[in-house]
Amino acid sequence: MTRASKADGGVAFRKLAVAVLSSFLMISGLSGAALAATEIKVALITPEGSTWTNALHKLAKEVEHQTGGEVVFRVYAGGVSGDELDVLRKMQVNRIQAAGFSGVGLGVILPEMRVLEAPLMFRSYAEIDRVKDKLFDRFVAGFAEKGFVLLGFAEAGFVYFFARPSMTGSGGLDPLKMWAWKGDPVAKATLEAFGIKATPLHLADVNTGLETGMINSFYSPPLAAVAFQWYAKIRYMLDFPIVNSTGAFLIRKNTFDRLSEDHQKVLHEQSRRFCDELIRLSRKENEEALEVLKASGIEFEKPGGDQVQLFEKSAREVHAENVDKLYSRKLFEQVQEILWEYRQQ
């Protein structure tokens, strides 16, 4: 073999080697990409260390474990992603893929969900559970049409009025300047129907509002009042639950659809388990929060009979206002029928 032919052979060999190595690296890269974990960014407005956020961290660990590390959650808690309306905007552009929402965010996506927060509609947790169970498939379909998967219901608990001035005196609720969640016209309209001056603020501004006197009252489940430390700035709680604060865990449908069937099943099963456990804990810890409030010196006031009648009249006005605006009359009547049947047992 001549020197030239040897050189040509060496060049050919090197080209072949480079081609094989390139193919190997390409295949390895593709394999690595295929095996890369699917990261799901999840937002919550509740603070780190709270019942809701702790439960979500447990869910994240279980999903990662059951999928062999192929589906992982990155949790953004404490409102670092903004309030619920900010989170929704980020979900629309895929910066956030999943979130826990209160009725405020849920109502922006699917307004008829607010039927679960009709004032004075529910008398017990058992009634809430019955209605949610009966309507679950309906809401699943409704969220799917909006591009979301309903992974499970949650809740914050029954909502009470908290204030610095007494709420049962001669003026009743007249002295109140109450926080209303900014961007939630339903809450504002409900408060005003009860004769309360509503002051819309972002959730993060409630403490400042209480400190500066911009507001002197707020509505909240007991657990949230403690978790956000709002209770330290008021003196009274009206011992009369006004509404149940609902919630749910949602994921973008196109994110969910990209998961394998096995991973979808894990996410569905674990999320339902997570939501059921969260509801159980929330109810238990709301009862414990009531004891914290009492121990802190907050006075629990009972409304008089005339005040209760006024509340009931105001609630009926809110229901009439929201029928055909947020939810259909048919849906509202269906909820009433479910409750009537349950109460006959």
pLDDT at position 169: 72
Name the band, by pLDDT with cuts 50, 70 and 90, for residue 5. Answer: very low
Least confident interval from 70-74, 182-186, 199-203, 244-248: 182-186
- Please report whether residue 237 resides in a domain: yes
Q: Produce one character per residue of 14-49: b if its CB has 16 or more CB atoms within 10 Å, e if not.
A: eeeeeeeeeeeeeeeeeeeeeeeeeebbbbbbbeee
Cβ–Cβ under 8 Å, residues 217 and 234: yes
pLDDT at position 3: 45
pLDDT above 80: residue 9: no
Cβ–Cβ under 8 Å, residues 224 and 203: no
pLDDT above 80: residue 214: yes
What is the overall mean pLDDT for the chain? 89
- Please report whether residue 46 resides in a domain: yes
pLDDT above 70: residue 25: no
pLDDT tens digits, one per residue of 43-53: 999 889 888 89
Q: Residue 279 maps to which CATH number?
A: 3.40.190.170
Q: Give the structural domain span for 57.
A: 37-343
Backbone dihedral angles phi then psi of residue 9, each to the nearest 5 degrees:
-65, -40
- Please report whether residue 150 resides in a domain: yes
Cβ–Cβ under 8 Å, residues 134 and 171: no
The CA distance from 185 to 84, in Å, is 14
- Please report whether residue 218 resides in a domain: yes
Q: Assign 267 to helix, strand or coil.
A: helix
Cβ–Cβ under 8 Å, residues 98 and 251: yes
Six-digit token string for 66:
């059951």
pLDDT above 50: residue 19: no
Backbone dihedral angles phi then psi of residue 42, each to the nearest 5 degrees:
-120, 130
CB 121: neighbour CB atoms within 10 A?
20
Mean pLDDT, residues 194-215: 95
- Please report whether residue 31 resides in a domain: no
pLDDT above 60: residue 22: no
pLDDT tens digits, one per residue of 247-283: 999 999 999 999 999 999 999 999 999 999 999 999 9
- What's the pTM? 0.84
Q: Is 17 left (phi over 0), alpha (psi -120 to 50) or beta?
A: alpha
Number of structural domains the chain divides into = 1
In this predicted model, which residue has the larger pLDDT, 14 or 87?
A: 87
Mean pLDDT, residues 76-98: 94
- Please report whether residue 103 resides in a domain: yes
Mean pLDDT, residues 297-306: 94
pLDDT tens digits, one per residue of 89-117: 999 999 999 999 999 999 999 999 999 99
Mean pLDDT, residues 313-326: 94
Name the band, by pLDDT with cuts 50, 70 and 90, for residue 228. Answer: very high
The CA distance from 76 to 293, in Å, is 29
- Please report whether residue 264 resides in a domain: yes
The CA distance from 116 to 126, in Å, is 13
pLDDT at position 296: 97
pLDDT above 80: residue 21: no
- Please report whether residue 190 resides in a domain: yes
pLDDT above 80: residue 233: yes
Mean pLDDT, residues 114-134: 96
